[in-house]
Structure 1
Amino acid sequence: MRTNKYVKVLQLGMQNEMEYRANYWLQMAGFMLPIMTQIFLWLAVFGSSGQARVLGYSLPEMLVYVVMAGVTGKLIATGFEYEIATDIKEGGLAKFMVQPVHYFAYRFCRFIGGKAVQSAVVLLAAVILLLCLSLDGHIGFELSHILLYILALPGALVLNFVVYYALSGIAFWVTESAGLFYTLSLVIYVASGTVFPLTIFGDALARLFSLLPFSYTVFFPVNALTGKLTVLEAAKGIGVQWLWIAVLAAVSRWVWQAGLKRFVSVGG
């Protein structure tokens, strides 16, 4: 019964993702526009610089990075932190406190259910785009690099979930937290390497970012795909991913235990 309960939640996440289909397909089309913009940007940068490598990347490596950073960022994107803030503010969290449903497990299953639907479309779009670039002679792939990316992706997905679940606990202390979430999301978006490779910030900041969990959500798995990492480095990075997951899961547990002591159900 307990397993079946969370399977139903996962199915609910899948159904919710496709509830507004026109909006869903518009979002899927919209996420491609920044990727196409960056492709043309880096083609112009490499063409005007006359250099074989920029920021430590060749043109093929940079094109793969741009496409897959956008794709990976979309695959692991959350958004549930705003829903959690609403549950806390309006008292909706109270029903989870009296029902035999663990809120963390509920949110995680619903998150994974939505990603199951989204991932198929996003990855298909990525394959088509990368194939077009490879036919144009710009890029090629090695099977070992693809396998390393696939192995790193689950850790990136779970890590991003626990990062935002921990941050969502801020709503216990900040009544109007939407603006704060938006600001933190922008910082994480940059620090994860979704916009540009982290090497663009120089060696010192790149090393600093490597000490934070955010770079292991996008920068690390995409570098595995571009061939910037050896098998040993990739294995070490995956280990660091799951270490951060354990640490942040403990942090989120502490934050939520402290926050629930402040929670008052008003409305709902």
Structure 2
Amino acid sequence: MRNNPLEHNKYVKVFLLGMQNEMEYRTNYWLQLFSFILPLMTQVFLWLAVFGSSGERRLLGYSLEEMLVYAVMAAVTGRLIAAGFEYEIAADIKEGGLGKFLVQPVHYFAYRFFRFAGAKAVQSAVIWMGAVCMLAGLSLWGGTGFSMTHLLLYMLTLPGALLLNFLVYYTLSGMAFWITEATGLFYTLSLVIYVASGTVFPLTIFGEAVGRLLSLLPFAYTVFFPVNAVTGKLNGSLIAAGIGLQAFWIAVLLILSRVVWRAGVRRFVSVGG
């Protein structure tokens, strides 16, 4: 009987480790679901109030139906691609835990990515459960819906958004080599990225000039771009161009992260771990 080579692949084991860590605390699933739905409900009622008080059929380039779908899918996408490992990396650098990866045949970048992917495989089930409930409720209540074609286009943009967001935070985590306590900095930058990615509001809320500037940054292609694919505001050529820009920023951040980490590892001193 031939052995399956995947069973002995160290990064497959890391992927499974990420899944196991996510499933270790089951109560956390329900807390995640609650913490996901509550802010989302706030967004939905906010936009209902804004459209109701304005009397306009379209605001910021969106109809009420499109805006509600945007609010739901932006929250979903933000959770699907969310990082969080930057704090763990900072702890590895500060406490010396990174040292063991430098002397073992395990690439730290690959280790972090496969562990991140494993965790996302589990989180996605919980997040999509809440998303389906919200979209079904909106469809039954107000006739809000979207086509399967738009959903498929959204799924095409999601892998690039996931990898791009991983690289953004992996690159930023390298700052922990120069800053002893990077938690506050990570938190501040996360808030900025949260807004600049379009997770809170569509980027059109900032006006044409600022919106165009933000569209030149990688953050817009993690949430704003995929969500506009599912709302039907992008045609085939714009989808292709957006995926191309995702690939461009992924290549740039791969190079940048390598430069940052090489420089950081040269000054790294393991004093713990």
TM-score higher than 0.5: yes
Structure 1 residue corresponding to 2:59, chosen from 45, 54, 58: 54
Matches within 5 A, 1:213-252: 213-252=218-257
Aligned CA RMSD, in angstroms, stands at: 1.0
| Alpha-carbon distance between aligned partners in 1 of 2:77 and 2:117, rounded to the nearest angstrom | 15
Q: TM-score, structure 2 length as denominator?
A: 0.96
Q: TM-score, normalised by structure 1?
A: 0.98
Structure 1, unpaired ranges of 5+: none
Tell me, what secondary structure is at the counterpart of 2:253? Answer: helix
Superposed, which structure 2 residues align to 1:82-97 within 5 Å? 82-97=87-102
Q: Secondary structure at the match of 2:269?
A: coil
Q: Give 1:196's match in structure 2, choosing from 182, 201, 219.
A: 201
- The aligned residue for residue 180 of structure 1 is 185
1:45-92 deviation line (CA, Å, top 9, x unaligned): 111111100111000000000000001000000100000000000000
> Which shifted more, 208-217 or 115-124?
115-124
Task: Find the partner of 1:18 among 13, 16, 23.
Answer: 23
Partner of 1:136, secondary structure, is: helix
2:248 and 2:218 map into 1 onto residues whose CA distance is 10
Judge conservation of contact 1:96–1:102 (CA < 8 Å) in 2.
yes
CA distance, structure 2, for counterparts of residue 221 and residue 62 of structure 1: 14
CA shift for structure 1 position 28: 2.0
Q: Secondary structure at the match of 1:234?
A: helix
Q: Which of 125, 140, 154 matches 2:159? A: 154
Identify which of 143, 147, 155 aligns with 1:142.
147
Are 1:59 and 1:138, in contact at CA under 8 Å, matched by a contact in 2? Answer: no
Q: Check the 8 A contact 2:92/2:98 in 1, yes or no.
A: yes
Answer whether contact 2:73 2:131 (CA < 8 A) is retained.
yes
* C-alpha distance in 1 between matches for 2:88 and 2:126: 24
Match of 2:215 in 1: 210
> How far, CA to CA, are the matches of 2:183 and 2:45 in structure 1?
33
Cα offset, 1:23, TM superposition: 2.4
| 1:202-233 deviation digits (Å, cap 9, x = unpaired) | 00110000000000000000000001101110
CA shift digits 1:181-216 (9 cap, x unpaired): 000000000000000000001001100000000000
SS in 2 for 1:140: coil
For residues 138 and 42 of structure 1, the distance between their equivalents in structure 2, rounded to whole angstroms, comes to: 16
* Residue identity matched to 1:57: Y
Measured against aligned partners, the alpha-carbon deviations of 1:157-199 in whole angstroms (never above 9, x if no partner) come to: 0000000000000000000000000000000000000000000
Q: Report if aligned partners of 2:176, 2:182 keep a CA contact under 8 Å in 1.
A: yes
* 2:69/2:145 contact within 8 Å kept: no
Q: Secondary structure at the match of 1:202?
A: helix
Identity %: 73
Mapped partners of 1:94, 1:25: distance in 2: 36
Aligned position for 1:73: 78
TM-superposition CA deviations, 1:225-261 (whole Å, max 9, x none): 0011011101110111011011101100000000001
- How many residues align? The count is 268
Equivalent residue for 2:68? 63
Q: Does structure 1 residue 9 correspond to structure 2 residue 14?
A: yes
Measure the CA separation in 1 of the matches of 2:33 and 2:17: 20
Q: Distance in 1 between matches of 2:170 and 2:143?
A: 39
Q: 4+ runs of 1 displaced by more than 4 Å? A: none
SS at match of 1:233: helix
Matching residue within 126, 132, 149 for 1:127: 132
Per-residue deviation, residues 137-156 of structure 1 (Å, max 9, x unmatched): 33121121111100000100
